[in-house]
Amino acid sequence: MSILDGLFQGIIQGATEFLPVSSDGHLTLYQHFTGNSGEGALFFSLMMHLGTLLAVFVAYRKEIWELICAFCSMVADIFQGRFSFKTRDEYRRMIFMFFWACVPLLGFLLIKDWVTAITEDSDIVVEGLCFLYTGALLYLAAKCVKGKKTAGEMSVRDALIIGIFQGTAIMPGISRSGSTISSGLLLGYSKDYCVKFSFILGIPAVLGASVMELKDALETGVEIEWAPVLVGIVAAAVVGYFCIRLIRYLVVTNRFIIFSYYTLALGAVVLVLGIIEHLAGANIVELLGFAL
């Protein structure tokens, strides 16, 4: 993989991680059509997520600092015997809800190897179906009656539901931000809170997945080209920061549905191309090369 490939994939990651169109799905398509799929593709994709995490830390630095302070205060209360799960503090409740929203991810670890095989194979039919699912979910969320609930009203049940939707984003083509924002909107939470909860919720999930993938890569001896990885991480962080600001604006101003139209159209195109590749037994790029 060249440094230019790393740059392009970093830009794709940064642009599509926060826009609800599935960064993994877009990276998988790029890798598929440029011949960068295969062993190590999932590792590179997860490293790009570290770049977008940097963007989250910068964009939500105030909220993340408040969460860190709230967590330290909770630890102090535990040692002083004053801790209680019943609290009206917004940031303490968010910490509790983040915990419950991450619980369903443990179940999705059971299919991790299967998803890795899908991501690194030469088939894009599954990606097409997943894009169609994302488009349908975004459409439902855009059309639902908008609620006003925030952190103080989030229940464990709602956090678990959002967590399950986040877990489905392990599939390439299902957007993590799109799934969590959409499920939050469908559950009646305010648009601004859904965006904030979704992006901060991604921190433990992505960090955990990246650490596990790095461990697997080192154990299996996957060759890591660090120069393209580092270039991609920086590009993903810079582009991702501006896309966070964009998605916050689009959700609040009720323009969320445009992503539904995009992913539905993309899903249909990818599904058709995948079927053509199946029937022809060759990559669409190779077929076009033969035709020319």
Q: Is 70 exceeded by the pLDDT of residue 41? A: no
63 three-state secondary structure = helix
pTM of this structure: 0.83
pLDDT digit string, tens, across residues 192-251:
899 999 999 888 877 877 777 667 666 666 666 778 888 988 998 999 999 988 888 888
DSSP of 163-208, one letter per residue?
Answer: HHHHHHTTSTTS-HHHHHHHHHHHTTB-HHHHHHHHHHHHHHHHHH
Comparing CA positions, the residue from 213, 214, 105, 124 lying closest to residue 162 is 105
Handedness of CA 4, 286, 25, 260 (dihedral sign): positive
Report how many helices (DSSP H) and strands (DSSP E) the chain contains, helices first.
14, 0
Q: Which residue has the higher pLDDT, 148 or 122?
A: 148
Contact at 8 Å (CB) between 203 and 164?
no
Distance CA 145, CA 185 (A): 8
Model confidence at 267, pLDDT cuts 50, 70, 90, reads: very high
- The percent of residues above 90 in pLDDT, for the chain, comes to 29
Q: Under a CB-based contact definition with an 8 Å cutoff, are residues 187 and 30 in contact?
A: no
Encode pLDDT of 110-147 as tens digits: 777 777 666 656 678 888 999 999 999 999 999 887 78
Residues 6 or more apart in contact with residue 290 via CB below 8 angstroms: 282
**Mean pLDDT, range 3-15, rounded to an integer:** 85
Please, which residues have CB within 8 angstroms of residue 259's CB and are 6 or more apart in sequence?
Answer: 19, 20, 21, 135, 138, 178, 250
Q: 81: pLDDT confidence band, cut at 50, 70 and 90?
A: confident
DSSP summary character for residue 149: B
| Least trusted range by pLDDT, from 14-18, 86-90, 181-185, 274-278 | 86-90
CA 127, CA 133: separation in Å to the nearest integer?
Answer: 10
Q: Pick the closest to residue 122 from 230, 233, 273 (CA basis).
A: 273
Q: How far apart are the first and last CA of the chain?
A: 26
Residue 119 is predicted with a pLDDT of 61
State residue 292's pLDDT score.
47
pLDDT of residue 65: 94
